[in-house]
């Protein structure tokens, strides 16, 4: 016995990003006593873990959380990091969320039919825990990153702030999801020679028939598709983010746009051997697949517009040029030659559950849950990919998920 006081609360929410705050809003609406524990500040990820030039890729009209939506002068624009952090801060204020900042959760374990939560500030006991600590706590790097010669500087999106920070010389950006294409474009525009290693990706135009592509996704219900209706849920949860960027020109940032900026494209990085990066030769197939999937999606949008009588309100159907395959497809690159001074790993992110001492994390480091109901009574999650819908990780996707997850939690507490 340590004599230490243990604070009691019905529910602990971990993380004060928009997901944790949405959980708090619905807990408050149901008069369920709770606290939101945050290791940094409200909207910490947007303030500390993103690069300087980043803007949301979702348009402002889509910036909405329970009880608060963007009402500024530019609904079709894209928020900067400062603006989104301020928006989430406002959400915390208007919802009156009981946030405790600078409170790191270092351990959660089961104690009888409750949970014991250890924080940098003391011990707590609660009946339910909502994990809203984020899906992108750390960069996901391939194992062969360790075999890259030390002469080449390596950065992740967490370390990267702006092109000026990199040593002079060529940059190899690895990964062609939203992060990879945005960083490749920014580095190329700063005058550096950039090579982009491209694996499976999701190609999308920024606008289609005069509307933001995300308008189409929303209107046709693509992102409302529920997790229990998705054909291959494991695959859907691993899908890379779409190649989109939020700029005032509403420009498309696909492989053709990057080629025009002078970015050299190589295939998926498969291994490092004798100081050489070895790339897969399947670029043509990777490009055709991305083109095919985009065209199929646009077909469904056209079909929807026709069937619902919207053809007159939008522009005429468009089709986009196939992705151009580089004439000289390089299959390897000597990392010791000096051609590449830095590598930026845009190979995705993963959550960090190092503090979770409940056996609910699988061998791949992912939580075992059914639509946010974690495999341990009273334990819940929010903000994970396709948690309950395709839109689950997007800001505007949290409201429906949080309402349902907190509804389940309330039922658990009442039972």
Q: Cβ closer to ligand FAD: 93 or 324?
A: 93
Long-range Cβ pairs for the range 77-84 (8 Å, 24+): 77/246, 77/248, 78/246, 78/247, 79/55, 79/246, 80/54, 80/55, 81/46, 81/47, 81/50, 81/52, 81/54, 81/55, 84/43, 84/46, 84/56, 84/395
Q: Please choose, out of 147-155, 221-229, 367-375, 390-398, the segment that lies near ligand FAD by the rule CB under 6 A.
A: 390-398
Q: Cβ closer to ligand FAD: 120 or 190?
A: 120
Give the closest residue to 251 by CA, choosing from 287, 280, 212: 212
Q: Cβ closer to ligand FAD: 248 or 285?
A: 248
Cα dihedral 138/144/147/149 (nearest 10)? -70
Q: Does the protein bind ligand FAD through residue 60 (CB under 6 A)?
A: no
- Out of 136, 188, 277, 344, which residue is the one contacting ligand FAD (CB under 6 A)? 136
Burial class of residue 415 (count of CB atoms within 10 Å of its CB; 0-12, 13-18, 19+): exposed
Q: Does the protein bind ligand FAD through residue 14 (CB under 6 A)?
A: yes
Q: Cβ closer to ligand FAD: 50 or 209?
A: 50
Spatial distance between the Cα atoms of 179 and 124, rounded to a whole number of angstroms: 38
Q: Does the protein bind ligand FAD through residue 290 (CB under 6 A)?
A: no
x/- letters, 170..199, toward ligand FAD (CB under 6 A): ---------x--------------------
Q: Does the protein bind ligand FAD through residue 127 (CB under 6 A)?
A: no
Strands (E), 58-193: 64-65, 68-69, 99-100, 105-111, 114-119, 122-126, 128-131, 138-139, 153-155, 170-174
Cα dihedral 229/232/233/234 (nearest 10)? 170
Quote the least distance from Cβ 254 to ligand FAD, whole Å: 17
Q: Cβ closer to ligand FAD: 246 or 267?
A: 246
Give the closest residue to 225 by CA, choosing from 388, 353, 78, 44: 388
- Out of 9, 12, 17, 201, which residue is the one contacting ligand FAD (CB under 6 A)? 17
CB nearest ligand FAD: which residue?
Answer: 17
Q: Does the protein bind ligand FAD through residue 392 (CB under 6 A)?
A: no
Q: Cβ closer to ligand FAD: 16 or 27?
A: 16
Quote the least distance from Cβ 272 to ligand FAD, whole Å: 26
Q: Cβ closer to ligand FAD: 345 or 349?
A: 349
Quote the least distance from Cβ 329 to ligand FAD, whole Å: 29
Quote the least distance from Cβ 328 to ligand FAD, whole Å: 32
All residues at 6 or more sequence positions from 159 whose CB lies less than 8 Å from its CB, including other chains = none
* Residues binding ligand FAD (CB under 6 A): 14-20, 37-40, 44-45, 50, 56-58, 104-105, 132-134, 136-137, 179, 349, 355, 383, 393-395
């Amino acid at each position: 016995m340590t004599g230490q006081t243990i604070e009691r609360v019905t529910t602990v929410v971990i993380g004060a990003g928009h997901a944790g705050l949405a959980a708090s809003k619905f807990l408050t609406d149901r008069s369920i006593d709770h606290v939101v524990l945050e290791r940094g500040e409200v909207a910490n990820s947007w303030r500390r873990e993103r690069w300087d030039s980043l803007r949301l890729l979702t348009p402002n009209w889509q910036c909405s959380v329970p009880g608060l939506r963007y009402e500024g002068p530019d609904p079709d624009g894209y928020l900067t990091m400062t603006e989104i952090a301020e928006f989430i801060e406002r959400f915390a204020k208007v919802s009156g969320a009981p946030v405790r900042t600078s409170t790191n959760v270092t351990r959660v374990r089961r104690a009888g039919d409750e949970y014991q939560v250890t924080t940098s500030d003391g011990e707590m006991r609660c009946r339910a825990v909502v994990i809203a600590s984020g899906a992108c706590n750390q960069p996901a790097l391939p194992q062969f990153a360790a075999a890259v010669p030390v002469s080449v500087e390596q950065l992740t999106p967490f370390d990267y702030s702006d092109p000026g920070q990199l040593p002079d010389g060529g940059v190899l950006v690895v990964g062609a999801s939203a992060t990879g294409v945005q960083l490749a474009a920014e580095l190329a525009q700063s005058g550096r020679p950039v090579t982009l290693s491209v694996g499976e990706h999701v190609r999308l135009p920024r606008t289609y028939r005069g509307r933001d592509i995300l308008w189409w996704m929303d209107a046709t219900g693509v992102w409302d598709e529920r997790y229990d209706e998705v054909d291959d849920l494991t695959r859907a949860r691993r899908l890379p983010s779409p190649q989109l960027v939020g700029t005032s020109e509403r420009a498309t940032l696909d492989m053709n746009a990057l080629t025009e900026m002078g970015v050299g494209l190589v295939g998926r990085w498969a291994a490092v051997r004798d100081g050489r990066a070895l790339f897969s030769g399947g670029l043509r197939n990777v490009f055709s697949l991305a083109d095919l999937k985009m065209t199929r999606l646009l077909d469904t949008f056209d079909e929807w517009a026709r069937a619902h009588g919207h053809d007159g309100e939008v522009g005429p159907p468009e089709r986009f040029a196939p992705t151009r395959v580089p004439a000289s497809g390089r299959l390897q690159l000597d990392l010791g030659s000096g051609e590449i001074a830095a590598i930026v790993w845009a190979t995705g992110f993963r959550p960090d559950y190092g503090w979770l001492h409940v056996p609910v994390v699988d061998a791949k480091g992912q939580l075992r849950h059914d639509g946010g109901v974690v495999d341990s009574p009273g334990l819940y999650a929010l903000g994970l990919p396709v948690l309950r819908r395709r839109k689950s990780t997007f800001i505007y996707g949290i409201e429906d998920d949080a309402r349902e997850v907190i509804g389940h939690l309330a039922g658990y507490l009442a039972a």
